[in-house]
Amino acid sequence: MNPYHTLIIDDELAAREVIRTLLADTPMLRVVDEAANGLEAVQKILLHRPHLIFLDIQMPRLDGFSVLRKVWPDHQPTVVFTTAYDQYALQAFEVNAIDYLLKPFDEIRFGQALGRAIERLNNQNQPKIEALLAQLLSAHTPAPPREYLSRVLVKEQGRMYFVNLNDVQFLDADGNYITLHTATGKHIVYDSLTKLETRLDPNQFVRMHRSHIVNLAYVQEVETHFNGDYIVHLKLGQTLKWTRNYRDKIQAFLG
C-alpha cells in the first residue's frame, strides 16, 4: 500500500523536528513537506493535498482554524492539532479533528493520536459495503419504466375535461395551440408540440412533421411522395404528410 502523505505545520522549527522524528519509524506515513506559518500552510496543503496534517493553532499570519477554513472547500485532510494552549480543544473537535495534542506531549500520547489518525485514514480508504451493494444492484436492476401521459387536460369555454390519448388520432400545432383530433371532434390545448412530444409514448405517437404527431394505431398505410416525403393515410380517412426531415422515425412504423 502506498504511504499516506503527511504535512507538518508549526511556526517553531523544534516542534516540527519533534514530530518528524516521531514519524520516522512509521512506514505507513511519508512526510512530504513542512510549513512555518498559516499562509504557507494553505499553499502547501493545496499543492500536496496530503492525507494527514499535524497543525499548530497559534501561528503568524493565519491561525490553524483559518487555514482549515481556506482549504476545506478544495481539500479535507485528516487533522491532528498540536498546540501549547488547551483552551482550543473544544473548537478543535468541532471542526472534526482526529486528535488534539497539548505540548509538550510524550511519545506515548503521540502514538495514541497517530494510531487514531491511521485508523481514520484506513477506514476512509476502504470501499464502503453500502456503496458496493448499491453499485451491484444498479448494474443488475432494470430501470423502472418511464411514465407517459395517458390523457390530456383540456380547458375550454369555462370548463375542464380530460381527453384519453388512446382516442387521439393525431395532433397538429399552430404556434403554441395544439389540436387533438378524435373521432368525436377536435380539442384545443395551449402547449408546445415539442414539449408535449417528450411526454408521449414514442411507441404510440410519432412526430412526422414539425406540426404533426400521429397515433400509430390509426395509420392505415404510407405511400411515397415527392422529394423523399411520404403521405400517411389514417384509418378514418385523413391524410398527413410525413416530411423527410423526420425520416429517422421510420423504425416506429416498422415496429
Q: Do residues 50 and 5 lie in contact, with contact meaning Cβ atoms separated by under 8 Å?
A: yes
Contacts of 9 (CB under 8 A, 6+ apart): 34, 35, 41, 44, 53, 54, 55, 56, 59, 64, 67
Q: What separation, in Å, do the N-terminal and C-terminal C-alpha atoms of the chain show?
A: 55
Cis, bond preceding 104 (omega within 30 deg of 0): yes
Residue, of 86 and 29, whose pLDDT is higher: 29
Contacts of 145 (CB under 8 A, 6+ apart): none
> Which of 39-43, 104-108, 144-148, 191-195 has the weakest average pLDDT?
144-148
At residue 94 the predicted structure's pLDDT band, cuts being 50, 70 and 90, is low
At residue 143 the predicted structure's pLDDT band, cuts being 50, 70 and 90, is low
129 pLDDT above the threshold of 50: no
Of 59, 106, 111, residue with least CA distance to 80: 111
To the nearest whole number, what is the mean pLDDT of the chain? 86
Of 196, 178, 198, residue with least CA distance to 188: 178
Segment 80-90, tens digit of pLDDT: 999 887 776 66
**pLDDT average, residue stretch 55-64:** 90
Segment 209-252, tens digit of pLDDT: 999 999 999 998 888 877 778 888 999 889 998 888 786 665 55
96 pLDDT above the threshold of 80: no
4 pLDDT above the threshold of 70: yes
136 pLDDT above the threshold of 70: no
Please give the Cα distance from 186 to 255 (Å, whole number): 28
Could you give the percent of the chain with pLDDT greater than 70?
85
